[in-house]
Structure 1
């Protein structure tokens, strides 16, 4: 075998290894991973009214008016990830960064008004953008932008660590191994690989039409309720499981940990339920926004 052949094969092996490691590397915290977000859109599409689907398709025709050619917004799946795409242009969309989360300390009493100055948090923006979407007097491109923000934030609020926090930016500052995959962080694990495994292993598929009884169980509540759920899951499950202690508020947690295969297995149903709830609640908000007449006044907590 010639030296050139050896070098070529070695280069391919090195390239493969680097590519694999890149997949394991922690990414900047944005939201639920691309896959989980688009699946919430698929669930919503399987459960919205035909009239809602038709109204959305008409609205997507305004895509060109948004001035974001680098970020597609022609389908509901596009909409679920569009806000993460446009925020890369910080000069134009940087003001939306705080809309993707609402860090709430898990070791203090839950306060729905905390950390949302001027409505710049995920809960306020879900409600705000639904009302913009429902207002037929507004230009189509304004309503389309609101649709994308609303559906994306519905996904985000169901990821527990976009709401719960233990002085670590929602788990971003806690290095964590995911089984045999090293060097991730706790936030990214719940955003990406755990959510993806939960979705792909679900039986039956999470993407399906749900019965009225299932929707009644899973699709209810307000954005404030959904945020409280994520905060509670972070407090009662995410941190205790990651650090093998029920005393997460009584002790200083280490900066690094490891999720074992058993931790992952037990967390999958939690993630599956959150993805399902996000999709069904998204469908409900879309049906409400496109229904005739004004939206009801928001509930006050």
Structure 2
């Protein structure tokens, strides 16, 4: 896959600073999804998002982060995560009734905005907004610290990263992925496009070919909560195995750019790959159901 001129131009766009999975992760997830969706799905979402280029998903992948701290978008601040009240590394697990906040969480938000996308009677701008949320939240739920309560998903744990002091959440959002790609030099669209091309190849014919089919197991529009909870618990398991392998206290102040990075990097890669593949499956199901509804009305 070659980088088009429009992709290179996207690398100069302003991106919000506070982005889950970092801008790079979300953009990569979106590009992977655009590589796997059906042609009919591409046509539908290009229409609803009013963008007929190859960047129609990636171009809105960080929108939900860009509005969450605005006066208008403040309502969505809790929609990006679900706080699993578990005790890693002894026990990891997400419980919807226990962990989803009263005003919503990433699991309920995937359900909510999927239902809005499927409501053909909603104004197009409402369905466009719902699409932007779904694209983003499917990415969020695959980031392990978006499904963990300890220290506000690692935001309250300070660690070392090469010459910097960062919080653990930022390391998992951005630092590890950026190091994997040799540094992105503030061009996340270019880096995300290239990373997505590589992961797409790995899913189709490479190291993920044999396992990728199972990534769509259990995905059902009939029960979005169960689907999203499956993703959440899978991501949350990583908290015990790789985020806090020796417990939250043991990681405080530690340098993470060495051995910790070497163990975490493959996990982040596969989580991004899964998120993109599953997002494509989810968008295909939505577009197919809408198409069936139109046929039924004829």
- Which range, TM-score by smaller chain? 0.7 to 0.9
Q: Which residue in the other structure is 1:71 paired with? A: none
Calculate the aligned-residue CA RMSD, in Å. Answer: 2.7
Q: Which residue in the other structure is 1:231 paired with? A: 236
Deviation at 1:268, TM superposition (A): 1.0
Q: Distance in 2 between matches of 1:53 and 1:203?
A: 17
Counterpart secondary structure, 1:136: coil
Candidates 164, 170, 190, aligned match of 2:153: 170
Give 1:1-301 correspondences, 5 Å limit: 30-61=19-50, 75-89=56-70, 91-107=71-87, 110=93, 111-118=95-102, 120-166=104-150, 168-178=151-161, 180-198=162-180, 205-208=198-201, 210-211=203-204, 214-221=211-218, 222-240=227-245, 245=246, 248=247, 252-253=249-250, 255-291=252-288, 292-293=291-292
Q: Distance in 2 between matches of 1:59 and 1:35?
A: 24
Which structure 2 residue ranges, 5 or more long, are not aligned?
1-15, 184-194, 219-226, 294-298
1:81 to 1:184, Cα distance in 2 relative to 1, 3 A? same
Q: Distance in 1 between matches of 2:152 and 2:178?
A: 22
Deviation at 1:134, TM superposition (A): 2.0
1:116-137 Cα offsets, whole Å, 9 max, x none, are 2346100110121112112222
Q: Distance in 2 between matches of 1:200 and 1:276?
A: 18
**Number of aligned residue pairs:** 247
Counterpart secondary structure, 1:184: strand
1:106 to 1:195, Cα distance in 2 relative to 1, 3 A? farther
Q: Distance in 2 between matches of 1:253 and 1:278?
A: 29
1:49 to 1:199, Cα distance in 2 relative to 1, 3 A? farther
1:119 to 1:226, Cα distance in 2 relative to 1, 3 A? farther
Contact 2:158 2:166 (C-alpha < 8 Å) held by counterparts: yes
Counterpart secondary structure, 2:96: coil
1:76 to 1:284, Cα distance in 2 relative to 1, 3 A? same
Deviation at 1:207, TM superposition (A): 3.6
1:228 to 1:288, Cα distance in 2 relative to 1, 3 A? same
Counterpart secondary structure, 1:103: coil
Q: 229-238 or 215-224, which moves further after superposition?
A: 215-224
- Select the structure of larger CA radius of gyration: 1
Q: Distance in 2 between matches of 1:165 and 1:256?
A: 19
Contact 2:85 2:99 (C-alpha < 8 Å) held by counterparts: no
1:179-231 Cα offsets, whole Å, 9 max, x none, are x2321111000000112334669798114484485541223341101111121
Counterpart secondary structure, 1:83: helix
Q: Which residue in the other structure is 1:16 paired with? A: none
> Whose relative contact order is higher, 1 or 2, with alpha carbons under 8 Å and at least 6 apart?
2
Q: Which residue in the other structure is 2:7 paired with? A: none
